[in-house]
Structure 1
Amino acid sequence: MSNRKPYVREVKRTWWKGHSFYRFYMIREATILPLILFTLFLTFGLGALVQGPEAWETWLGFMSNPVVIAINIVALAGSLFHAHTFFSMMPQVMPIKIKGKPVEKKLIVLGQWAAVAFISLVVLIIV
């Protein structure tokens, strides 16, 4: 047996800044942070709804705060960015063939956005 220590390369905390692919990846993954806050806001809203009209009005006042509105706008932008990157990857991850011919990548992406638009419209009509 050897008493030599194995070489362990030092990894800095900013390793991802050196390559554009990794910067893009880290930005994409960071979109979860405002979405966590948005989810917490909605969860507290459900709790306020259960507690009664006074708690609901307090929560509505909180939601009208400009900082909360800005966080929600950033969360929406992050969500749309995340959806865009996911939808653009989908044709490579799961190519679709109809009658043995591959479906054009643009059609798959447009179909996904059309589904999002349709579901959003249905939810808006219901609510």
Structure 2
Amino acid sequence: MSNRKPYVREMTPTWWKSHPFYRFYMLREATVVPLVIFTIFLLIGLGSLVKGPESWQAWLEFMTNPIVILINIIALIGSLFHAQTFFSMMPQVVPIRLKGKLIDKKLIVMAQWAAVIFISLIILVVI
């Protein structure tokens, strides 16, 4: 049996602050918090819709609260940021070839944003 002590790497709670890549990663992952809150608001809204007109009206009034509106705006910004980072990674993860040639990464990212805009416009027109 050896008397050597095993190497234990020190891990501080702020390890991610030391490198820009890790800070960016933590920021990207933190965008889930306002999205979860937004989702909870929507689930409460669905529940109030089922309960009746008075409950639905109370939820609509709740949604006009400036803090709730701010959380929704932050959730939208976080969602767009998350989508942008995901779309920019997509050509590296799944390179697309057309007739044996790689399609330009910018074209793939722009096509994804065009699809988002197109689907959003369809939803806006239908609603």
Question: Does structure 1 residue 2 correspond to structure 2 residue 2?
Answer: yes
Letter in 2 for 1:38: F
Write the distance in 2 (CA, Å) between the matches of 1:9 and 1:41.
Answer: 42
Question: Does structure 1 residue 21 correspond to structure 2 residue 21?
Answer: yes
Gaps of 5+ in 1: none
Q: Where do residues 34-53 of structure 1 align in structure 2 (5 Å cutoff)?
A: 34-53=34-53
The alignment partner of 1:10 has SS state of coil
Letter in 1 for 2:18: G
Write the distance in 2 (CA, Å) between the matches of 1:113 and 1:16.
Answer: 30
Write the distance in 2 (CA, Å) between the matches of 1:47 and 1:122.
Answer: 26
Write the distance in 2 (CA, Å) between the matches of 1:88 and 1:60.
Answer: 36
In the superposition, the TM-score normalised over structure 1's length comes to 0.97
The CA deviation at 1:2 is 2.1
Look up the match of 2:77.
77
Moved over 6 A (4+): none
Letter in 2 for 1:119: I
Letter in 2 for 1:72: N
Q: Considering only aligned residues, what root-mean-square deviation do their CA atoms show, in Å?
A: 0.8
Name whichever of 2-11 and 54-63 sits farther off. 2-11
Q: Give the length in aligned residue pairs.
A: 127
Write the distance in 1 (CA, Å) between the matches of 2:46 and 2:12.
Answer: 42
The CA deviation at 1:124 is 1.1
In the superposition, the TM-score normalised over structure 2's length comes to 0.97
Gaps of 5+ in 2: none
The CA deviation at 1:105 is 0.7
Q: Where do residues 99-114 of structure 1 align in structure 2 (5 Å cutoff)?
A: 99-114=99-114
Look up the match of 1:115.
115
